[in-house]
Every structure is written in C-alpha cells, then in structure tokens.
Amino acid sequence: MKKLAALLLTGTMAMGLLAGCGSSNSTAQSGANQDNSTNTQAAASSAAETQAAESSVAQTQAENVGEGEIIVFAAASMTETLTQIKEVYEAAHPEVTITYNFDSSGTLKTQIQEGAPCDLFISAGQKQMNQLDSSADASVNTEGLDFVNADSRINLLENKVTLCVPESNPKNINSFDDLNKALTAGDILFCMGNSDVPVGQYTQKIFAYYGLNEEVLAKAGLITYGTNVKEVTTQVSETSVDAGVIYCTDAYSAGLTIVDYATAEMCGQVIYPAAVLKTAQNAEAAQYFLDYLTTDEAMAVFAEVGFSPAK
C-alpha cells in the first residue's frame, strides 16, 4: 500500500509539473504575440507619420512657388517648348505670370548687360553665360561682368547640331562630308548663324574641323547668315538656301529633313546653362520656375523635340 501511495503521489506531482510548464509556455506565447502586435502597430504608425510628413513637404513645395511676373530670357531654339511649359505652369500656379524674351543668346547677353530687366537667363551656349558670370574665367568674362547668381547656375539641357536641307534637297547633300565637298567646289548656297550666335559658333568649329575658310567662302557668295537659329531655319524651310546648320530641336519643330548630326569631335557638346540673375526683380519665383524645368514633367516636353537632360 505504501508503494502504491508513493506511486500515486509521484504521478500527481508529475502531472502538476506538466500542467505548470504548459501554462508557462501559453503565457510566454501570449506575451510574444502581444509584443509582435505592439511592434506591428508601432511600425504602421511610424510609416503613416513618415508618409504624412512627406505629403506635407510635397504640398508645401507645390504651393510655395512665389508670385508675380517672372521675366525669362531664353535662346530662340527653346521657343516652342518653353511656350508649352508656360501654359502648364501658369495653369497650376495662377499667381505667377511668365514673360519670355526669345532671341539669340548673344543678343540676350547684350540686353542683360545693358540693363534690360531679366530674372532668369537660359543660354544656348556656355560662352554667353560665362561672359556674365564673375566666377567664370577672365579670358571669357573679359569685362568682369557680375550678373549671374552662381549658386543658382545649372546645366539644364543638351541639344544636337544638325545639317538640314530643304524638302527637295536640290544639291543632294546627305552628310557633312558632302557639305564640305560642295563648299570646296563652290557649288552650294549655305546658311549659318552669325558669329555672335551659338549655332554660328558651333558651325565655325565644324568649318575648322574640315579646314574650311569661312571668310573666303563668304566672299565667294557661298554663305548667307541668320541673326539667330530661327532665321537660319526659315531660310532652309523656304528653300532660299541649299543647306543649313541648326539644332535638331528646331529641325523637328519646323519639320525639316536632318541629313547628318555633328559629333562632339566636330563641335563639342551643345549645353544650355541656366541661372537666376543677381539683378532679378523676382528671384524667388524665378528659382522655383528653374527648379520646375528640371522635373520629369518639364523634361518630357523638352524631349518631344529632341532635347535631353544635360550630363
């Protein structure tokens, strides 16, 4: 009987221990589940707070674009794209009015230098921007001009220099090599930009690449000139000349035939710098507009005619 009682007592104690372990495990599991639930709720709350903060920042940035008139001096080759962007920007920000002045970068540089009101300058070449920038090399900014807010200056876009012909292509020009042969033979009427116009300066580099003498060719009556790229484009479009060098963006806009693209070796990269000016009457709004021009939305408009983001 004593042995039986001992066995019964041992069994009872064992069952108690097992029950105790089961209870501990259940309690621990319950605590772990509660901790996991708390952590999940905390993570979700943190994510929601982050999203709300980002949304608030984005909304503030969208709303805070300044107000009033922004006067933009821009290269003539940007006429179509910037006009389209103006409509979109002003519709989204009715408190802002954008006024453009389109012309050759050399003419715009001179107007700024002479005191014309301008908030934002977008040039078709680095030279004209450098001539207004006190931080540029003195060999370029020879007059020591100080109009550019260097902190705002960026390389905005890249364009391509192209050789274009009228629809009939009367001289059968299909490449820069063909142009070189025709000019050498004196059997073509060719149009290029003036020497103070970026597209004209790029053309001069192409002449140098081929060893062509512009002065001799001009005296022989083989070259006509345009005061900006739009004038060169018009002469080609109207078949007033046999060929002309313009930007691919102008060729696309005018529906002209591009027969060749100039390589970087021939004339370098075609970079469009942009900057808010120190003399700006509305620098804040101009900076916001410049920032907008770098967005995907604006770049999509530029890309439609052949521009690409500057690299």
The three-class DSSP label of residue 224 is: strand
φ, ψ dihedrals at 180, nearest 5°? -60, -45
Specify the CATH architecture of the domain 161-261: 3-Layer(aba) Sandwich (3.40)
The arrangement of secondary structure in 65-158+271-309, i.e. its CATH architecture, is 3-Layer(aba) Sandwich (3.40)
- Separation of alpha carbons 23 and 53, rounded Å: 45
Is the pLDDT assigned to residue 27 strictly greater than 90? no
| Interaxial angle between packed helices 79-92 and 296-303, expressed in degrees from 0 to 180 and rounded to the nearest 10 | 150
Query: What are the sequence ranges of the domains in the chain?
Result: 65-158+271-309, 161-261
pLDDT in tens, 199-213: 999 999 999 999 999
Q: Which among 285, 259, 303, 305 is positioned nearest to 120, based on CA atoms?
A: 285
DSSP string computed for 102-129: EE-HHHHHHHHHTT---SEEE-SSHHHH
Q: Which residue has the tokens 């709720």?
A: 41
Phi, psi of 295 (to 5 degrees): -75, 165
What is residue 256's DSSP assignment?
Answer: P
Neighbour order of strands in the sheet with 154-159: 96-103, 68-75, 120-122, 270-276, 154-159, 308-309
pTM recorded for the entire structure:
0.74
Identify the band that residue 63 occupies on the pLDDT scale cut at 50, 70 and 90.
low
Q: What pLDDT, in 10s, does the model give residues 137-182?
A: 999 999 999 999 999 999 999 999 999 999 999 999 999 999 999 9
Residue 177 phi, psi dihedral angles, 5° rounding: -65, -40
Four-CA torsion 250, 252, 258, 263, nearest 10 degrees: 60
> pLDDT confidence of 51, banded at 50, 70, 90?
low
**Which of 19-23, 96-100, 179-183, 191-195 is predicted with the least confidence, judged by mean pLDDT?**
19-23
Give every CB contact of residue 97 below 8 A, 6+ residues apart in sequence: 68, 69, 70, 90
Residue 49 above 60 pLDDT? no
Mean of the pLDDT values across residues 85-110? 97
Domains 65-158+271-309 and 161-261 share a fold: yes
Which of 259, 232, 257, 247 has its CA nearest to residue 308? Answer: 247
- 163 three-class SS: strand
